[in-house]
């Protein structure tokens, strides 16, 4: 029997730029979930799984049926699923925990896994500076802003959210993001601040759409990449952590399949 592993993925951005254009990536993501289910004990989804999510009392966004069904299947089989709210799906409330049984995190967490210390966070708003974004995030996570948004009709609200998302950064598939360097990369600076207070073996983040694994002293600083450009994920087998990429042949299969539809 193979040893159970712990998997990490982030920034799938399901629904971007539209449900139709993102369909092939959802099928790819579900294929990956199906592949890992036999040797996965814990799954960490480290933010921005959805390009937009908002829960009204009686309504949730259209789409994502295959993803939600597969996550429910994994949870029902005994796999523990941790879901971090990102800057795009910050408005996940109680629907996913109640329907699927996932554990929702709204900020960084620390975990001891097989004797190794992990610090895990989506990454948005962490590190020095970036006060404008931090103020905006505080506003969007306030109960008042959530109440105001819930007054909007879902058709308009979802359109507005996707319109904002599609213009907020380069999502045109031209190029992935690049590491800004140790003095300018805010998440990296945050990791150094964390390590100044406590030692961790692994510091794992999403948010920045690049896949990177570098040393900070005896610790490892990891950004998981995304499912827009890199199609990468992390695996911890109890001894070591590895960043891996989805098989390019599988990526091309789903991409070509849905381009023909």
CB 224 within 8 A of CB 206: yes
- What average pLDDT score do residues 203-226 get? 96
Question: What is the pLDDT of the chain when averaged over all its residues?
Answer: 89
Q: Whole domain around residue 73: which residue ranges?
A: 5-259
Structure tokens at 196: 């100044």
For tokens 């073996």, name the residue.
201
3-state secondary structure the chain: CCCCEEEEECCCCECCCCCCCCHHHHHHHHHHHHHHCCCEEEEEECCCCECCCECCCCCCCCCCHHHHHHHHHHHHCCCEEEEECCCCCCECCCHHHHHCCCEEECCCEEEEECCEEEEEECCCCCCCCCHHHHHHHHHHCCHHHHHHHHCCCHHHHHHHHHHHHHHHCCCCCCCCCCCCCCCCCHHHHHHHHHHHHCCCCEEEECCCCCEEEEEECCEEEEEECCCCCCCEEEEECCCCEEEEECCHHHHHHHHHHHHCC
CB 19 within 8 A of CB 56: no
CATH number for 11: 3.60.21.10
How do residues 10-60 score in pLDDT, each as one tens digit? Answer: 999 999 888 899 999 999 999 999 999 999 999 999 999 999 888 888 888
pLDDT at position 161: 67
Give me the number of domains the chain comprises: 1
What is the model's pTM? 0.90
- Lowest-confidence region among 46-60, 213-227, 245-259: 46-60
The half-sphere exposure of 212 on its side-chain side, counting CA atoms within 13 A, is 22
Residue 210 has pLDDT above 50, yes or no: yes
173: burial class by Cβ within 10 Å (0-12, 13-18, 19+)?
exposed
**Confidence at 174, pLDDT banded by 50, 70, 90:** very low
253: burial class by Cβ within 10 Å (0-12, 13-18, 19+)?
middle
Residue 165 has pLDDT above 80, yes or no: no
**Confidence at 138, pLDDT banded by 50, 70, 90:** confident
Would you say how long the chain is, in residues? Answer: 261
How do residues 187-200 score in pLDDT, each as one tens digit? Answer: 999 999 999 999 99
């Amino acid at each position: 029997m193979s040893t159970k592993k712990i998997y990490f993925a982030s920034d799938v951005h399901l629904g971007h730029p539209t449900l139709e254009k993102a369909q092939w990536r959802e099928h790819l993501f579900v294929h990956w979930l199906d592949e890992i289910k036999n040797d996965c004990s814990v799954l960490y989804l480290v933010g921005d799984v959805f390009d937009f999510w908002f829960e009204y009392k009686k309504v949730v966004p259209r789409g994502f049926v295959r993803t939600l069904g597969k996550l429910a299947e994994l949870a029902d089989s005994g796999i523990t699923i941790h879901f971090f709210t990102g800057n795009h799906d910050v408005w996940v409330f109680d629907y996913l925990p109640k329907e699927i049984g996932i554990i929702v995190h709204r900020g960084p967490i620390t975990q001891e896994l097989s004797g190794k210390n992990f610090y895990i966070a989506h990454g948005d708003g962490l590190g020095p500076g970036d006060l404008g974004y931090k103020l905006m995030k505080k506003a969007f996570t306030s109960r008042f802003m959530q109440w105001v948004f819930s007054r909007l009709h879902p058709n308009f609200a979802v359109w507005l959210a996707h319109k904002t998302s599609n213009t907020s950064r380069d999502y045109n598939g031209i190029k992935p993001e690049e590491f800004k360097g140790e003095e300018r990369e805010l998440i990296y600076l945050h990791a150094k601040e964390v390590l100044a207070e406590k030692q961790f073996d692994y510091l794992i983040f999403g948010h920045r759409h690049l896949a990177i694994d570098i040393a900070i002293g005896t610790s490892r600083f990891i950004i998981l990449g995304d499912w827009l450009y890199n199609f990468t994920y992390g695996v911890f087998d109890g001894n070591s952590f590895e960043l891996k990429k989805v098989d390019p042949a599988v990526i091309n299969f789903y991409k070509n399949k849905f381009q023909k539809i």
